[in-house]
């Protein structure tokens, strides 16, 4: 969550805006969300934190969070109604190359591969945040002879 604070604070500073207690409460609430949400879902959760916020203020801050790259709108195929948002994933998706011969595993992070996985999830209506990929690659370790 620290990274989200830093990104939003930096974005607001560039816009000549302040990182207020209202914005912090909104960001705290959104970071606690496990799945997509609407403004109607979030508003009572922010108010529980004794923060005076109205719907218009929440919409304005959601717009700023989208511009900062911290929120995205949920594609129509994945949502039940209009105005659904979710936090943008900040940690790399877990992808592992695995050699079944010697059981060596290597975690990989590749932006192009990650974008392809997100497109695949959209196509099959899967949740990309819960996706884990294991690719078995013989000879990954370089110890096993290759059979051509």
The domain locations on the chain are 2-87, 94-136
Distance CA 115, CA 142 (A): 29
Q: Two tokens at 110? A: 């590749």
Query: Which residues contact residue 11 at a Cβ distance below 8 angstroms, ignoring those fewer than 6 apart?
Result: 64, 67, 68, 69
Bridge partners (DSSP) listed for residue 134: 96
Distance CA 25, CA 65 (A): 13
**In the CATH hierarchy, which fold is given to the domain comprising 94-136?**
Dna Ligase; domain 1 (3.30.1490)
Q: How many helices (H) and strands (E) does the chain have?
A: 5, 5
Q: If you search the block for the tokens 């970071």, which residue do you land on? A: 31
Sign of the dihedral through C-alpha 13, 17, 18, 20 = negative
Residue pLDDT tens, the chain, 148 long: 678 888 899 999 999 999 998 999 999 988 887 778 888 888 888 888 877 888 899 999 999 999 998 898 887 777 666 778 888 865 555 677 777 777 777 777 777 777 788 788 888 888 776 677 777 776 666 665 555 4
The pLDDT value recorded for residue 146 is: 57
- CATH class of the domain defined by 2-87: mainly alpha
């Amino acid at each position: 969550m620290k990274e989200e604070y830093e990104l939003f604070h930096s974005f607001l500073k560039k816009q000549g805006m302040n990182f207020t207690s209202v914005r912090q409460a909104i960001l705290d609430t959104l970071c606690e969300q496990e799945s997509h949400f609407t403004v109607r879902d979030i508003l009572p959760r922010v108010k529980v934190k004794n923060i005076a916020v109205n719907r218009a203020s929440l919409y304005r801050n959601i717009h700023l969070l989208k511009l900062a790259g911290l929120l995205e709108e949920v594609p129509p195929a994945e949502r039940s109604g209009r105005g659904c948002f979710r936090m943008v994933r900040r940690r790399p998706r877990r992808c592992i190359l695995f050699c079944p011969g010697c059981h060596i595993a290597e975690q990989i992070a590749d932006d192009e591969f990650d974008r392809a996985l997100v497109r695949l999830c959209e196509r099959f209506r899967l949740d990309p945040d819960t996706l884990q990929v294991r690719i078995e690659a013989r000879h990954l370790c370089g110890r096993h002879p290759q059979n051509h």
